[in-house]
Structure 1
Amino acid sequence: METTEPILDAIRQRGADAYPEEGCGFLVGTVTDDGDNRVTALHRAPNRRSENRERRYELTADDYRTADAAAQEQGLDVVGVYHSHPDHPARPSETDLEEATFPGFTYVIVSVCDGAPEALTAWALAPDRSEFHREDIVRPDPEAL
């Protein structure tokens, strides 16, 4: 995943704002010639989960359509999802794997401990949806994005 520090900071802030619940939203940008996701914007979305919001998040099809329409207006695409893990590591849970639906998307997770954002990681879902693979987070020159 390619992105800038301000985008990463915005994801961290979203996690802190949602604490002690999980915060979530969409990654917006383009796919590079190498097949990597270049994230140039975020689309914030509400956590639609009605229970266990401190351990689970939910985005609806309508949330996706809204994010996609907003992205299209900018000539961009939805290229992933981000969410926070309150008081847990920034790695996918079994529930994250069970609920992940889009190979090719980047899945960003930020760990938020006692309200403060800590580690932030990026993951790619395997084509057969059996596991996540860690993605590098590349911060190119902001003028290149």
Structure 2
Amino acid sequence: MTIELSREHLQAICSHGESAYPQECCGLLLGLVRRDSKTVVDVLGTENAWDEEAMKAFQGIEPLAKLGETKRGNYGIAPTDILKAQKAARDRHLAIIGIYHSHPDCAAIPSEFDRQVAWQEYSYIIVSVCSGKAVDVTSWGLDDDREFQREEISLVDQLENYSKNR
């Protein structure tokens, strides 16, 4: 699978990761799904809603001691933000096609927790932010065995392509 996005979208994701550092940032990717590719049409940054309540909700997946209460190693997107994004996407004949988040001072590789909570139909873009600077960006999708497989990131002028297809 390939995920297509513009340089502006990539920059927005990296900038969000840098501005949230040393905490994790997160956001939603709106776009279109085709047979072998996904095209990002809009990047919606969200507030990292990770808190003690979120930590307790996920304690069955990871031990509490490993999850932690801080946003430095965890992220959460509020259900209200997801619902607003779904409505906005639907109004534009788009869908939520993925989620992005940052890994402060850590590689842009999904954690076991990332895998456990991932949805198979989404792409997961991870930006590694080291000492406040975005240094690597990767994208991942789950296969039929619920294992992450790396997705190719293709930088395109997708807004132009999107308007041509409308």
Superposition TM-score, scaled by structure 2 size = 0.80
Specify the SS of the correspondent of 2:4.
Answer: coil
* Structure 1 residues not aligned, in runs of 5+: none
Listed one character per residue, the Cα deviations across residues 50-100 of structure 1 (whole Å, up to 9, x for unaligned) are: 122100001233221111111122221100000000000001011111121
- Alpha-carbon distance in structure 1 between the residues aligned to 2:92 and 2:45: 15
CA contact (8 A) 1:37 1:105 kept: no
Amino acid of the residue matched to residue 101 of structure 2?
Answer: H
Matches of residues 1-145 of structure 1 in structure 2 within 5 Å? Answer: 1-32=3-34, 34-50=35-51, 51-100=69-118, 102-129=119-146, 131-142=147-158, 143-145=160-162
Q: What is the one-letter code of the residue matched to 1:67?
A: A
Q: Report % sequence identity.
A: 39
Q: Is the 8 A contact 2:7 2:156 kept in 1?
A: no
Worse-matched range after superposition: 135-144 or 91-100:
135-144
Alignment root-mean-square deviation, CA: 1.3
Task: Give the drift of 1:39.
Answer: 0.5
The answer for unaligned runs of 5 or more in structure 2 is 52-68
Larger Rg: 2
Size of the aligned set, in residue pairs, is: 142
Higher fraction of helix: 2
Instruction: Give the structure-1-normalised TM-score.
Output: 0.91
* Alpha-carbon shift at residue 141 of structure 1 (Å): 4.2
